[in-house]
């Protein structure tokens, strides 16, 4: 027995150096005459099989990754671990998970291997520009389920992965403890455990001290107890070699700033902001509107295109195919002799006026968003400078879009000079970023191929991770989701056409379940320059209030198009379009005219800003209000703990009904407690919960929405 203990003592001195320096390649001295197998034990090396393949072999979410089994030898060289059911993960890692800066990113996975060995796991992560991975321990929750978390502080592109390995010392410790319970002799096991200590390397000062001290205690006493001490197990977990370390593939993660999750948007047509009838509005007129928009509690001022407008095929009033003299045309027909996507419409003002607008927005707590449309008018300078970027007909005329969009030309994104075209659009966006734009609403996605958007989003994000790109298109559901997966920070939704309770519950339930909630951030616009939904065309005040209350509470991000606050509702008969749309003409308004709902919108935005639960979308739970024309739901924020219940009428008649709250609980100091009372967020009145719910009365003519903070 002493002949075996002696080698451990003889290498302790060299082990000290190895522990402190972290030189894991230093071979430890072994007794003279030790054979190769024993030397491998003492040095912590692994016998290598000759193989033709050197890839890892493991499973991630049931998919074999880098599996290269061709021979017995290559199979033996593979990993013993399986990594499955990783969450969150979009399309097996092909698309990025989205989170917000300073938001805790939790990762879960099933991790296991054969046998009864003790395993450990870590969650590693890094930013795109980082050279080194950062590591956080993963916690075992039973049944091979593990979790870990990390918190990126800045917007950008990140990656995360999972590492797992066998904890050889913990496996030894567990085995010895089991043998001790049976009364078996563990003296030889103790020698093996001491030998494992010699494999430790790169330990921190405290861990190294523990390992050396416990090993010395064992050598002095011959008792296994020092080797089973909990502090030694912790020190060895940090310091031992990991010869079977297995790492999953890296999975993509996009971190955006908070505006990508929460914000109230106000869209307007700059040329219609003048208060003088018949006069073209300017950017200075827009500046004069900023205080009013800020007073309603909006966070984003969103402008339709501000570029020169083409004259060829210009559209007239109400989308007439021919414009009369003086009609301004559609701002979406971008480009004229005065310039293209990096130019201002001359009647709006100068670039100095634009900078002044940006500065005023910042002064009032607003960000400026611009429409960015990848289309041109037939007069765009690119058509003469780069004719290869467009498609031409046999008569040498440029190919325009069809029907109501005949005033625009779609570039050929697959042209022989596609690189030049793609870079030109990117450079135009960079121009406006340099002038203070932080958000772009991207229009007409279906006119450009998906690879273009994939490239553009990635390029802009690498240069300016703070910039938000908003996908504002109504198209096929799978395409809308596909665009979100490419990286758009926010997306339009079908909310304008979801009016019944079951429709809203089904659709919002879809957007807030996994995996949609991890890549699709909805921005619920109640109307747009192109869309006046049928349910608003009656002009009833309750309907406008109900829709904006739904949008403002269901989603962290919502928006209105100017005129909504004035209850504008005149439509083209039989269509969801505005009569006398300002897309084709200049309009003036009295922004304070009687009957407006500006104060109501301001109250909603104030409540949103005061309650973190309303500043996100993912945590949404529908409640079973006993009235089919009333929708009720709860939203909960975790940091800070805050839960809000919204009850909103979907029809005009007043009604009383029972609202069951069932097992609804809220967080109080880290403890889950049942809701005992509700506080009305508009009146401050409190009502107690009895018999698992409460009776409510709602009168849509007064207010179609009841908003409560939950109390315990």
**pLDDT tops 60 at residue 66:** no
Give 73's pLDDT tier (boundaries 50, 70, 90).
low
Q: Is the per-residue pLDDT at 40 higher than 80?
A: no
| Predicted local distance difference test score (pLDDT) of residue 74 | 56
Q: Tell me the per-residue pLDDT of 538-584, one tens digit each, with 9 for 90 and over.
A: 999 999 999 999 999 999 999 999 999 999 999 999 999 999 999 99
Burial of 353 (0-12, 13-18, 19+ CB in 10 A): middle
Do 480 and 491 contact (CB within 8 A), yes or no? Answer: yes
Residue 156's DSSP bridge partners are 255
Given this model, what pLDDT does residue 662 score? Answer: 81
Mean of pLDDT values over 605-621: 97
CB of 544 within 8 A of CB of 567?
yes
| pLDDT of 27 | 32
With beta carbons less than 8 A apart as the criterion, state whether 524 and 555 touch. yes
Between CA 460 and CA 483 the distance in angstroms is 16
CA–centroid distance for 358 within its chain:
26
**In angstroms, rounded to a whole number, what is the distance separating the alpha carbons of residues 476 and 478?**
6
**305 alpha carbon, distance to own chain's centre:** 27
Query: Is residue 381's pLDDT more than 80?
Result: yes
Q: In what order do the strands lie in the sheet with 468-471?
A: 490-491, 468-471, 439-443, 367-373, 300-303, 263-268, 557-561, 523-525
Tokens representing 318? Answer: 């109400």
Helix (H, G, I), strand (E, B) or coil at 430: helix
Give the number of other Cβ atoms within 10 Å of residue 44's Cβ: 20
Q: CA 487, CA 478: separation in Å to the nearest integer? A: 15
Q: What is the Cα–Cα distance from 389 to 474, expressed in whole angstroms?
A: 26
- Among 70-74, 402-406, 459-463, top mean pLDDT goes to 459-463
Mean pLDDT within 117-134: 96
Helix (H, G, I), strand (E, B) or coil at 6: helix
Cβ atoms of residues 694 and 679 within 8 Å: no
Nearest-angstrom CA–CA distance, 202 and 573: 77
Q: What is the pLDDT of residues 205-252, one digit of tens each?
A: 899 999 999 999 999 999 999 999 999 999 999 888 898 999 999 999
Pairing mode, if any, of strands 523-525 and 490-491?
unpaired
Residues 411 and 421: beta-carbon distance below 8 Å = yes
Task: Tell me what the mean pLDDT of segment 509-526 comes to.
Answer: 97
Confidence of residue 75 (pLDDT cuts 50, 70, 90): low
Residues making up the chain, counted from first to last: 712
Count CA atoms closer than 13 A to 182's CA, side-chain side: 7
pLDDT score of 6? 38
What's the pLDDT at 624?
93
Q: Which residues pair with 441 in a beta bridge?
A: 371, 470
Using CA atoms, how far apart are residues 392 and 395, in angstroms rounded to an integer?
8
Task: Quote the pLDDT of residue 46.
Answer: 32
Q: Please name which of 494, 425, 485 lies closest in space to residue 460, comparing C-alpha atoms.
A: 425
Q: How confident is the model at residue 388 (pLDDT cuts 50, 70, 90)?
A: very high
Task: Please state the rounded mean pLDDT for residues 508-514.
Answer: 97
- pLDDT value, residue 405: 87
pLDDT on residue 72: 63
Tell me if the pTM is above 0.75.
yes
pLDDT of residue 663: 87
Confidence of residue 672 (pLDDT cuts 50, 70, 90): very high
Distance CA 694, CA 678 (A): 10
Q: Do 208 and 198 contact (CB within 8 A), yes or no?
A: no
Q: At residue 677, does pLDDT exceed 50?
A: yes
User: Residue 688 in contact with residue 676, Cβ under 8 Å?
Assistant: yes
Per the structure block, which two tokens stand in for 236?
């060895």
Tell me, what's the pLDDT at 184? Answer: 94
Q: By the 8 A CB rule, do 371 and 445 touch?
A: no
**Radius of gyration over every alpha carbon of the chain, rounded to an integer in angstroms:** 33
- At 621 the pLDDT is 96
């Amino acid at each position: 027995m002493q002949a075996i203990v002696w080698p451990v003592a003889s290498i302790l001195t060299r082990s000290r150096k190895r522990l402190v320096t972290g030189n894991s390649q230093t071979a430890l001295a072994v007794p003279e005459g030790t054979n190769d197998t024993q030397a491998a034990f003492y040095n912590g090396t692994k016998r290598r099989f000759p193989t033709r393949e050197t890839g890892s072999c493991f499973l991630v979410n049931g998919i074999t990754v880098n599996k290269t089994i061709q021979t017995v030898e290559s199979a033996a060289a593979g990993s013993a671990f399986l990594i499955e059911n990783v969450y969150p993960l979009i399309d097996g890692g092909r698309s990025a998970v989205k989170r917000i800066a300073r938001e805790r990113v939790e990762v879960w996975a099933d991790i296991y291997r054969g046998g009864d060995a003790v395993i450990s796991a870590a969650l590693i992560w890094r930013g795109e520009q980082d050279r080194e991975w950062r590591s956080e321990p993963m916690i075992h929750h039973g049944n091979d389920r593990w979790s870990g978390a990390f918190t990126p502080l800045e917007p950008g592109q990140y990656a995360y992965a999972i590492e797992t390995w066998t904890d050889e010392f913990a496996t030894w410790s567990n085995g010895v403890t089991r043998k001790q319970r049976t009364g078996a002799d563990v003296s030889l096991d103790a020698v093996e455990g001491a030998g494992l200590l010699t494999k430790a390397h790169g330990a921190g000062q405290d861990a190294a001290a523990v390992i050396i001290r416990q090993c010395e205690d064992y050598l002095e006493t011959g008792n296994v107890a020092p080797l089973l001490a909990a502090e030694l197990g912790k020190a060895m977990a940090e310091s031992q070699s990991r010869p079977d370390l297995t790492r999953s593939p890296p999975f993509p993660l996009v971190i955006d700033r908070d505006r990508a999750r929460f914000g109230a948007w106000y869209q307007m047509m700059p040329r219609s902001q003048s208060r003088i009838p018949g006069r073209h509005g300017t950017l200075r007129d827009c500046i004069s509107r900023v205080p009013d928009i800020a007073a309603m509690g909006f966070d984003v001022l969103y402008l339709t295109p501000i570029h020169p407008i083409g004259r060829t095929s210009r559209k007239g009033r109400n989308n007439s195919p021919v414009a009369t003299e003086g009609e301004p045309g559609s701002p979406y027909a971008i480009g004229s002799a005065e310039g293209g996507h990096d130019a201002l419409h001359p009647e709006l003002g100068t670039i100095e006026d634009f900078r002044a607008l940006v500065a005023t927005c910042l002064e009032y707590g607003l960000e400026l968003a611009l429409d960015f449309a990848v289309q041109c008018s037939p007069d765009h300078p690119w058509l003469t400078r780069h004719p290869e970027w467009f498609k031409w007909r046999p008569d040498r005329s440029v190919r325009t879009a069809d029907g109501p969009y005949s005033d625009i030309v779609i570039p050929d994104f697959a042209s022989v000079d596609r690189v030049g075209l793609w870079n030109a659009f990117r450079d135009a966006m960079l121009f406006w970023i340099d002038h203070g734009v932080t958000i772009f609403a991207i229009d007409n996605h279906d006119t450009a191929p998906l690879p273009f958007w994939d490239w553009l989003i990635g390029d802009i994000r690498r240069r300016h991770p703070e910039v938000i790109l908003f996908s504002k298109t109504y198209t096929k559901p799978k395409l809308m989701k596909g665009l979100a997966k490419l990286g758009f920070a926010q997306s339009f939704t079908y909310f304008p056409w979801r009016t019944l309770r079951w429709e809203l519950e089904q659709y919002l339930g879809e957007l807030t379940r996994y995996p949609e909630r991890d890549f699709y951030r909805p921005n619920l616009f109640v109307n747009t320059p192109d869309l006046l939904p049928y349910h608003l065309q009656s002009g009833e005040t309750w309907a406008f209030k109900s829709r904006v209350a739904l949008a403002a509470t269901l989603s962290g991000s919502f928006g209105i198009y100017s005129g909504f606050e004035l209850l504008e509702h005149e439509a083209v008969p039989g269509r969801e379009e505005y009569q006398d749309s300002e897309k084709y003409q200049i309009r003036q308004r009295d922004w304070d005219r009687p009957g407006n709902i500006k104060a109501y919108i301001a109250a909603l935005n104030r409540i949103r800003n005061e309650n973190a639960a309303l500043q996100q979308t993912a945590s949404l739970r529908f409640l079973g209000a006993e009235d089919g024309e009333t929708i009720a739901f709860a939203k909960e924020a975790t940091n800070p703990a805050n839960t809000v219940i919204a009850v909103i009428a979907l029809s005009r008649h007043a009604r009383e009904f029972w609202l069951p709250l069932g097992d609804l609980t809220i967080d109080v100091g880290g403890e889950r407690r049942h809701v005992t009372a509700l506080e009305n967020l508009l009146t401050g009145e409190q009502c107690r919960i009895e018999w698992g719910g409460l009776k409510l009365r709602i009168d849509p003519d007064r207010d179609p929405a009841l908003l409560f903070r939950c109390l315990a």
